[in-house]
Each structure stands twice: as structure tokens, then as C-alpha cells.
Amino acid sequence: MSKEVWGYHEHPKRREPEWVVHPQTSAVREGLARSGFGETSEALYLNSGFTYTDSQEAVDAFTDQTDHFLYSRFHNPTVAMFEKRLAAIEGAEHCVATASGMAAMFASLACILEAGDHVVASAAMFSSCHVVITEILPKWGVTYELVKANDKAGWEKALSKKVKAVFIETPSNPLLEIVDIRFVSDLAHKVGATVIVDNVMASPVLQKPLELGADVVMYSATKHIDGQGRVLAGALLGSFSYIYEKLIPFVRHTGPTLSAFSAWVLVKSLETMELRVTRMSESAQAIAEFLEGHPKIKSVRYPGLPSHPDFELAKKQMSAGGTTIGIEFAGSQREAFAFMDALCVIDISNNLGDSKSLITHPASTTQRRLSVEDQLKMGITPSVLRLSVGLEHVGDLIKDLDQALSN
């Protein structure tokens, strides 16, 4: 039987640029590993296992004596393309992809914590992250303390003692509180803590936590990275030592593995992420300005507005205000629901960072798991809404909001 496949031949390696390329170029080309067929688009390696030329090669692969894929729970060529590409965009030494954002969040902490350790976190965060820190980790003997985002004295006090990890969500979901990453990271490092930043609401396009002193960056890649409502995924980025000494041994044996198909979708999504996020942020800025002056809106929380309590800090560590707007309706939950139901372009959905504009009522959906007391501590009332701005024409979105507010 012939072992030759028509059209397949090894291609010589191309010369690398002699300059440092822009992140957008990395978003299109980093990690590209063409097969002998010379395909233009990235290949999808939808396989679970890999073969070896002989027994010794298998031994060498399992003892890290040679570079060889072992099993797709550990590593996969398509997943590796995504990881390498996202790491280049973020400016990180390495990246590990996971099956969801929450898999990434949990792994980021679980791989470094043990009984007796203490975690400090920003008080305003996504409800599932709140549950992990305040309910799940304490079952294993891990204590925690929550600090309000802009409470510098609170951060100084919390980080004046032994702390193993600091978890920051900035901007926060859903009311976009801002944490000073540089300030908190400097304090944390003095007590030997690892700083993990959930950068979902900003995306790699608008904020680079590693450049601001953080040690680890976490993503739900379901949001802006895919940004088109197709796959669940997560990612963790950081130093070689954190990834290889702490994270990889944990994920290798617990299995929060990203599928090759999802990774392939994300590889293609990264090519357009900067274009999407930039356009969505420009539209969000215009919409926030429109909503702020409307009599039926009590308040608008958006980092790009001077009225945001941390506007100056947001300008310092973000390149734009983001794609999401926090809205407090001047009325009851019933009136807020009537407003959402009157929208005809914007969808009611609990996702965000999507190409389609989405609105949700956090108290009854995304933050429902939290007690009313915890919701109120985050500023989440029955009148609060979260608007994720998509890629529709901004004029149509403003018209849709205006007509719904007029009903």
C-alpha cells in the first residue's frame, strides 16, 4: 500500500520578521503551523491520540526528552495554536486553554492553594467566581477576604499580612468597578502573593494586566475572544514558572480540556478580535453618553464617562471604556422589564462581548445565585440592567433604546 499522499510535501520554514510585529499581526499569524498540504487557514486536528515511530520515541515523549504530542487531554496541535496566538497578543510567556471561563478561574486558584492559605479578592465579581471563593474554597480550609474595588485603605490592610493569592475582576461584572492593578499588585508582591486578574470585561485589546504588574491573566474566551456566541472556552496566561510548575500539573490530571474544534473557532476569532472590540467600544461610548442624559435612567456606569467614579484610573489602565454598560433604571423591576421587552433589535440574553447587542437583568439572572445582601454590596438592585454592545450600527441601537424608553 502506497504511503504517499497526493499533494503532500514538506515546506521549508519561512524567514521570520526581523522586527517586533504588532499584536494585530500576531492575532492573524502567531502559532500558525501548516501541514505538508500548505493550507492557507489553520488546520483542525480533531483527534484524541498520537502515534510514535517506535517504542523508544513513546518513552522519550512521556519523559519530555522530545517534543511530541501525547494525548489531547494534555495537549493538541490546534489548541496549541490558539494558546500561542493568545499569549503573543497578551504579551505572556505562556498560555493554557480550558473548557470554560470558570474552569480557568477555578484552576488559577486551585493549582496554588492548600489548606490554611488565605485569598484576598475584589468584592464585586461575577457570581460564580464569588461562589468559588466564598463557598467552595473554604470547604478545603482556605480563608478569604473581600475588598471594595477602589478602597485603597482596605487593600493596604488586607495585604499587610500573609496572603497566598489575590483575585481581581476589573472592570467588574456587571457595574464595571475598577481596581488599580498596579497598586494592588505592588502590595501583594510585598507579601509574596500571586495576583490573578479576570480581564474578561476589558479583553486583551483594551487592557494588559501583566504590563501593570499582575502575575496571571484569566479569560472566559466565550466572551470577546470568540465574540460570536459559538463556543465555551477559557484561558490562563502568565509566566513560565506559574504555568509549568503549578498550572499544567493541575489541569493535566483534572482534565478541564478545551476541545480542538472550539480552539479552531477561537483561532479564527482572534483574527478579528481587535476590529470587533474597537468598534463595539466606540458604539458603547456613544450609547452611554445618550443614556446618561435620559430622564428614565437614574444612572449610567461606564468607564469611558467622566461621571464614572474611577474615570481617571480607567483612562490610565484601559485604552477605551469597553463594550459593556451598567444601567440603573429610574423605576421598579417591573418597569425595567417592560423596557427590555420593548426592545426590537437588542436581544435579552445573559451573555456579553458578543457581536449581537445583549441586555440582561443581573439580579434575576447572572447574579441570582448571590444573596440580596451580597447583591446590594455590589450595587446590584432590582432596577439595574447590563447592556453588552455589539456590532450593529450604533444609530440603530440608539433608536431601539430610545423607542423602548418612550413606551
Read off the pLDDT of residues 359-374 as tens digits, 9 standing for 90 and up: 999 999 888 888 888 8
Share of the chain above pLDDT 70, in %: 99
Judge whether 307 lies within some domain.
yes
pLDDT at 93: 97
Cell numbers placing 108: 488559577
Judge whether 368 lies within some domain.
yes
Kindly tell me if the per-residue pLDDT of 3 is higher than 80: no
Kindly tell me if the per-residue pLDDT of 89 is higher than 70: yes
Phi, psi of 246 (to 5 degrees): -110, -55
Judge whether 336 lies within some domain.
yes
Strands 165-169 and 194-198: parallel
Judge whether 232 lies within some domain.
no
Overall average pLDDT of the 378-401 stretch: 96
- 113-137 pLDDT, tens digit per residue, is 999 999 999 999 999 999 999 999 9
Instruction: Answer positive or negative: Cα dihedral of 285, 288, 290, 293.
Output: negative
Judge whether 115 lies within some domain.
no
Q: Are 235 and 98 in contact (CB under 8 A)?
A: yes
Tally of domains in the chain: 1
- 153-176 pLDDT, tens digit per residue, is 999 999 999 999 999 999 999 999
pLDDT at 2: 58
**289 Rama class: left (phi>0) / alpha (psi -120 to 50) / beta:** alpha
Q: Confidence band (pLDDT; 50, 70, 90) for 88?
A: very high
Judge whether 325 lies within some domain.
yes
Share of the chain above pLDDT 90, in %: 89
User: Does the model's pTM come out above 0.85?
Assistant: yes
CATH number for the domain including 374? Answer: 3.90.1150.10
- 236-281 pLDDT, tens digit per residue, is 999 999 999 999 999 999 999 999 999 999 999 999 999 999 999 9
> How far, in Å, CA of 20 to CA of 25, rounded?
10
Judge whether 370 lies within some domain.
yes
> How far, in Å, CA of 285 to CA of 326, rounded?
12
What count of residues does the chain have? 407
* Mean pLDDT rounded to a whole number for the chain: 95
pLDDT at 375: 83
pLDDT at 1: 52
3-state secondary structure of 235: strand
Kindly tell me if the per-residue pLDDT of 328 is higher than 60: yes
**21 Rama class: left (phi>0) / alpha (psi -120 to 50) / beta:** beta
H or E, element range at 61:
helix 55-62
Kindly tell me if the per-residue pLDDT of 199 is higher than 60: yes
Judge whether 183 lies within some domain.
no
Domain of residue 401, residue span:
272-406
